[in-house]
């Protein structure tokens, strides 16, 4: 099946959004959040970043090594538990967390629920070093969808809320040789999140917008 919402050069060879792949270290354990109508700095604060550590940043030309994400290379100090990078594309703000430390809130609730308060939409997706993945979608502080495996557009169709359906359709199924026909691939949750937020883009696209970064303990 096709990935109709993603144009040439916006997905990597495994079907993952290329801007995330190009930000990440090798074998990443990372989380991406998106939220509508919230500024990048406010999104970082909502996720627990320390206010005085949030700074505008520019991404380096390349990673210093295979184990350092571009987000981490852009902050000081670089030895924090995670590096958070945030920017806004259209109405949507993203936060990239290179260590996956914001995948759950302090109370164990989904960050999507926290980010979506006061009438907003938000989603969160984590992809672990063991290829475990999840996807949460929330509106106005209510978690409407949560899955701790690859979303299956056919099997999960009745559970997908209306606000997420177009993003699921745009994500499509990325065909892989080791998968059966129509079997969801490991990157589908990240594609759904990016389709929801209009993040069918490249790293060069992100370099053209204001970016904010913060270390995260």
- Please give the full DSSP string across 65-119, using - where no structure is assigned: STTS-HHHHTSSSS-SSEEEEEEEETTEEEEEETT-TTSS-TTS--HHHHHTTTT
Q: Mean per-residue pLDDT for 28-51?
A: 97
Give the start-to-end residue ranges of the domains of the chain.
Answer: 18-38+89-209
Instruction: Look at residue 1 in the predicted model and tell me its pLDDT.
Output: 45
**83-111 burial string, b = 16+ CB within 10 Å, else e?**
bbbbbbbeebbbbbbbbbbbbbbeeeebb
Q: pLDDT, tens digit, for every residue of 132-172?
A: 999 999 999 999 999 999 999 887 889 999 999 999 999 98
Q: pLDDT, tens digit, for every residue of 164-216?
A: 999 999 998 887 555 556 678 899 999 999 999 999 999 999 999 999 999 99
Rounded CA-CA distance 101/31 in Å is 8
Q: pLDDT, tens digit, for every residue of 41-100?
A: 999 999 999 999 999 999 999 999 999 999 999 997 788 999 999 999 999 999 999 999
Instruction: Look at residue 76 in the predicted model and tell me its pLDDT.
Output: 78
């Amino acid at each position: 099946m096709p990935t109709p919402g993603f144009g040439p050069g916006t997905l990597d060879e495994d079907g993952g959004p290329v801007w995330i792949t190009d930000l990440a270290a090798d074998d990443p354990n990372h989380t991406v959040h998106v939220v509508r109508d919230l500024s990048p700095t406010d999104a970082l604060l909502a996720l627990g970043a320390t206010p005085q550590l949030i700074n505008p940043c520019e991404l380096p030309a390349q990673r210093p090594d295979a184990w350092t994400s571009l987000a981490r290379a852009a902050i000081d100090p670089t030895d924090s538990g995670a590096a958070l990078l945030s920017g806004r594309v259209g109405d949507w703000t993203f936060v990239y967390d290179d260590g996956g430390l914001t995948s759950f809130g302090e109370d164990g609730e989904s960050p999507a629920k926290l980010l979506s308060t006061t009438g907003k939409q938000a989603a969160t997706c984590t992809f672990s070093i063991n290829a475990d993945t999840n996807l949460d979608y929330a509106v106005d502080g209510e978690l409407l969808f949560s899955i701790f495996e690859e979303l299956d557009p056919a099997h999960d169709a009745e559970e997908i809320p209306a606000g997420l359906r177009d993003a699921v359709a745009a994500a499509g199924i990325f065909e892989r040789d080791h998968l059966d026909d129509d079997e969801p691939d490991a990157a589908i949750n990240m594609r759904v999140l990016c389709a929801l937020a209009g993040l069918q883009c490249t790293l060069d696209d992100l370099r053209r917008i204001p970016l904010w970064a913060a270390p995260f303990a």
